[in-house]
Each structure stands twice: as C-alpha cells, then as structure tokens.
Structure 1
C-alpha cells in the first residue's frame, strides 16, 4: 500500500505543491529573508523523502513533470519585458554591458575557486553555469561533461541566495535605480531572483527578466572559449 502510494506520479506532484504552498504561507506570515519559498519547499521535500525513505526514482515519477514547466515559466517572463519595452530601449547599452560583466564575473569566480581548490574538470564544468536559469545551465553543463545534479543544485543555491540577499545588498550599496537593481538581480540569481525582483517592483522584475535571458545567451557563448 505504502510503496504503491510513493511510486505514484501523484505523490511527487502533490508533495511538491503542498510544500510550496506552505512555504509561501510561511514567508508571508514571517516576512523573514531566510524563509525563501524555494529554500523552505526544497527542505520540506527532502525531509519528507528522508523520513519515509522515499527513493529519488519514486519521487521523480511525478516530480519530474515539474521540470517540463521550466521552459514555459521562463518564456512567460517575456510578457513583463514587453510591457516595459520603452524603458528597455532607452537603457539597452547599459543593460547589455551589465549583463556582460555579470556573466564574466560569475564565470571568472567559478574558475578561480575551482583552480584554487584543484577540483576536477567535471566539477568545474558543472559549476560554471551556476548563475543562469536551470533550463540553459543544464544544457551547458552536459555539453562540457558536467553532472546535471551538481549544476541544478548550484543554480538553486545561487538563486535562493540572490533572492534572499538582493534587497540587503541594494540598501548596503545604495542602489536606488530600478533598472540597475533589476539587472543586477537577474544577472546574479536568474529566475529565482527574478521572482523577488517582481515583488520589489514591476520595472525591477522586467529588467531582471531581460538580464536573465541575456546572461543565459552570453554565458552560452562565453563558455565556448573556455
């Protein structure tokens, strides 16, 4: 009975949805940065799987369906970009320059740390695309011989950190321009950070969406020269 329940595709979907709803409620109730919905939901899913000894294969029977939504969810961000197209036109070159510097910095930091700790090439390839959205990052990692699991984990951790810390850094460095704030969030913490940028303001969300897409393209090109 229990095995049949855990191996059902509805188990993974229901568990993920329930944890996500609870995580959203907890964030709204507490308002704490550490209660990021992605982080809380992920920890809850891991906790339930560990408690009931649910295998990854059983969870993925339904949980993997959620992966199919990554592409469409990213594409939906284009609507917000379209609504702010006039702002984008007037700030096109600064946005492009910011995305380029963000992509270069992210790659350079990964390479520097991997060199310092003498990691294997496989690990380095898995970590390089950590600051772009999962749908693109996994493809880059695979093409360079990386491990999908490490790439996905690094992308999620990077995104959660960005979503949690971006308001704090904006205040710390006195970033008041919404375009600059949005580009910085999107370049450093991709889709998860963009969800936070949308909470901050529609212009920040639009610029973060633009930055997310542009950084994904630039990173895909830059890794060809590594």
Structure 2
C-alpha cells in the first residue's frame, strides 16, 4: 500500500480534493464561519499524513498540480471586476488609496511584530508576503531570502483568518460600504478572503478581486525594501 502511495502522483490531488469536499459538506451543514472548508481540508490532510507516516514530499508530488492552478484561478477573479468597471472608474482614486494603505499596513505590521518578537531575517522575509496570493507570495519570498514553506503557511493562515473573521471585523468597526468591505478582505486576505467577499455580494467580490492584483504588485515593489529594514 505504501509503495502505491509513494509512486502515485495522484495521491496528493485525491487527498486534497476529497478533504476539501468534506470541508464544503461540513460548512454547508453547520453554516458556521469558523468551519472554513480550506481549514478543514488542511486539518484532514495533516491528520492523514501524520497517522500513516507519509512524507510531505510524497504528498506534494500531486499537490504541485493543484498549485499550478493558482495563477489561472487568480486571473479568473478579474471577471467580477469587469462587471463593475464603471464603479471602479467613479471611485478610482479612493480605491487605489485604500489598497495602498492596506498594503503598507500589512508590511509595517510584520516589521513591528518581527522587532517585538526578535524574529530572524529569514522568518521576517518569509512573513512579509503573507497578505498576497500564493502565486506571487512564493516568488517574493524566494527573492528576499524567505523560507517558502513558512510563507505558504502564513499566506494560508492569513487567508483563512480573513475568510472567517473578516466580515465580523468590518461589522465591529461599522464598515458597511460594499467597496470598503471588498477592499479590506482582498487586501488583507487575498484569494481566500475574496471567496468570502464574493459570497457577500458582487461589488464586494469585484473590489476584493482588484485588491489581490494591486496589493500583489505593491508588495512586489515594497517587500524587497522592507526586507532591508531588518538584517
């Protein structure tokens, strides 16, 4: 059995898809935000790999095929934005200012926490791209001397957190405007947050989709600069 698993490139894909489907079923049945399908899938995969003592590299042979789909999936998020193009034109300056402020806040927050907890430069560089999509974040992390594995974990946790509590945080601070809500979710928690934004409404989803691309570009430019602040 182990030999079949070790030699099969489909094992990682199968486990990932089945785990996510289970997550969707649980979320649909109980309807709690904390029961995020991606979070449930991650937990199931970890339990399976740990229980059966399966190496991560063995699992990732098939997982790489899923990673390959990240970029086209991100590009597809431009569709809801296209439907709200007029709204974007009318509020262009405010939208760009909001995304820029959010991107700066993410980077400054990581810098402050790194100083507070005395992180090494490698850890600090790994966390800087935490709020952008994995496809861009991994490239940024590698360029500035980060550890890709830590970057993936930080991006995943950031996205899941935004998906789970993002709407509640907006309500707590009485942020009701759909443009503002969408920008907040997309800038802070990339594609996973955008999935939640799309559930809230078409405008929220469109603005969140825009935030992914713009925040990614801003972080690509600023992350190497911030990386030099802590050596």
TM-score range, shorter-chain basis?
Answer: over 0.9
RMSD: 1.0
CA distance in 1 between partners of 2:169 and 2:127 (Å): 23
Q: Could you say which residue in structure 2 is the equivalent of 1:215?
A: 215
Shift of 1:6: 4.3
Unaligned runs of 5+ in 2: 227-231
Q: Could you say which residue in structure 1 is the equivalent of 2:229?
A: none
Q: Is the 8 A contact 1:7 1:59 kept in 2?
A: no
Q: Is the 8 A contact 2:179 2:203 kept in 1?
A: yes
Q: Could you say which residue in structure 1 is the equivalent of 2:203?
A: 203
Q: Could you say which residue in structure 2 is the equivalent of 1:184?
A: 184
| Structure 1 runs (4+) greater than 6 angstroms displaced | none
Q: Is the 8 A contact 1:134 1:155 kept in 2?
A: yes
Query: TM-score normalized by structure 1?
Result: 0.97
Q: Could you say which residue in structure 2 is the equivalent of 1:161?
A: 161
CA distance in 2 between partners of 1:148 and 1:105 (Å): 22
Q: Is the 8 A contact 1:34 1:164 kept in 2?
A: yes
Query: TM-score normalized by structure 2?
Result: 0.95
The within-5 A match list for 1:61-76 is 61-76=61-76
Shift of 1:224: 3.5
Q: Could you say which residue in structure 1 is the equivalent of 2:138?
A: 138
1:121 aligns with 2:121: yes
Shift of 1:207: 0.3
Q: Is the 8 A contact 1:7 1:61 kept in 2?
A: no
CA distance in 1 between partners of 2:6 and 2:225 (Å): 45
Q: Is the 8 A contact 2:132 2:216 kept in 1?
A: yes
CA distance in 1 between partners of 2:213 and 2:78 (Å): 9
Q: Could you say which residue in structure 1 is the equivalent of 2:2?
A: 2
Q: Could you say which residue in structure 2 is the equivalent of 1:98?
A: 98
CA distance in 2 between partners of 1:97 and 1:109 (Å): 18
CA distance in 2 between partners of 1:57 and 1:135 (Å): 19
More displaced, 137-146 or 168-177?
Answer: 168-177
Q: Could you say which residue in structure 2 is the equivalent of 1:83?
A: 83
Shift of 1:59: 0.5
CA deviation profile, 1:182-206 (whole Å, cap 9, x unmatched) = 0011010000000000011111000
Matched pairs, number: 226
CA distance in 2 between partners of 1:121 and 1:78 (Å): 35
CA distance in 1 between partners of 2:64 and 2:107 (Å): 28
Q: Could you say which residue in structure 2 is the equivalent of 1:147?
A: 147
Look up the SS of the partner of 2:141 in the other structure.
Answer: helix
Shift of 1:5: 2.8
